């Protein structure tokens, strides 16, 4: 690792100014392991490598990178349906976004839910469709419960949850059991099929401050009562 570049003629302060304009992925793929000075600069300033997006391909390379900087990553974005990454190396992960354009198998998704890293997340954003190959899980709303219910497990620390599927809106959770009070949840963004679903959800979010809804159907016959938010410290509510 003795490669000499034009960056070596610059002061560390100027290099940092340049690095501040680049994404963590750009820095990781372009400068990591290029030479000792650049390596030391990247490793010393953790913020430069704390927001990583896993590429759709070449997952093996990403896992090799995790061996080097896994503990520095706080924000991770997955754009691949392959969830078999080295989760144990992400000891300080605080934010996770899943935005694969390909639907995810709910059985594979449990690889994340059963990890201790998931329990330590403060923010989770889900943009992908979840499906199941099991016949008894053919109903969309039951499959979606795979994502939704764990958010309300009492041992989770999530403060922000977004379920904005790019494929279809969330169905109903009225007959899904196993949800618990989420004391930490402060921000909730959902893409719903029917507005009245929020009546069921809101009772599990006593400390909610920010509620953002994208609704497909608002039935005036069903929505005949005001949404009671008197016991919730809500500061922002938006619906479209």
**Domain locations in the chain as residue ranges:** 1-49, 50-239
Q: What is the pLDDT of residue 229?
A: 66
Q: Read off the pLDDT band of 156 (50, 70, 90).
A: confident
Strands (E), the chain: 51-54, 75-78, 95-98, 104-105, 123-126, 130-131, 160-163, 187-194, 210-217, 236-239
pLDDT over threshold 60, residue 47: yes
Q: What is the pLDDT of residue 142?
A: 57
pLDDT over threshold 60, residue 69: yes
53 or 104: which leads in pLDDT: 53
208 or 3: which leads in pLDDT: 208
**pTM to 2 decimals?**
0.81
pLDDT digits (tens, 9 = 90+) for 199-219: 778 888 889 999 888 877 665
Quote the tokens at residue 24.
């963590």
CATH class held by domain 50-239:
alpha beta
> How many angstroms separate the Cα of 138 from the Cα of each of 38, 133, 134, 142?
51, 8, 7, 8
pLDDT over threshold 60, residue 174: no
**Cα atoms found within 13 Å of the Cα of residue 130, Cβ hemisphere only:** 24
Q: Read off the pLDDT band of 165 (50, 70, 90).
A: low
Q: What is the pLDDT of residue 53?
A: 84
């Amino acid at each position: 690792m003795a490669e000499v570049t034009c960056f070596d003629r610059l002061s560390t302060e100027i290099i940092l100014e340049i690095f501040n304009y680049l994404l963590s992925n750009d820095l990781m793929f372009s400068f990591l392991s290029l030479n000792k000075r650049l390596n030391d600069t990247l490793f010393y300033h953790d913020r430069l490598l704390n927001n990583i997006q896993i590429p759709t391909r070449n997952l093996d390379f990403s896992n090799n990178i995790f061996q080097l900087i896994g503990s520095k990553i706080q924000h991770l974005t997955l754009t691949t349906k392959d969830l078999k990454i080295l989760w144990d190396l992400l000891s300080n992960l605080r934010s996770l976004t899943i935005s694969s354009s390909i639907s995810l198998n709910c059985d594979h998704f449990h690889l994340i839910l059963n990890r201790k890293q998931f329990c330590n997340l403060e923010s989770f954003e889900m943009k992908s469709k979840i499906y199941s190959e099991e016949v008894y899980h053919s109903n969309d709303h039951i499959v979606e419960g795979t994502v939704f219910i764990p958010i309300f497990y009492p041992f989770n620390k999530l403060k922000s949850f977004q379920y904005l599927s790019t494929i279809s809106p969330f169905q109903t959770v009225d007959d899904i059991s196993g949800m618990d009070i989420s004391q930490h949840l402060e921000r909730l963004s959902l893409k719903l099929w029917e507005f009245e679903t929020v009546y069921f959800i809101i009772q599990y979010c006593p400390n909610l401050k920010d509620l953002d809804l994208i609704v497909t159907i608002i039935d005036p016959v069903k929505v005949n009562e005001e949404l009671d938010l008197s016991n919730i410290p809500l500061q922002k509510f938006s619906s479209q």
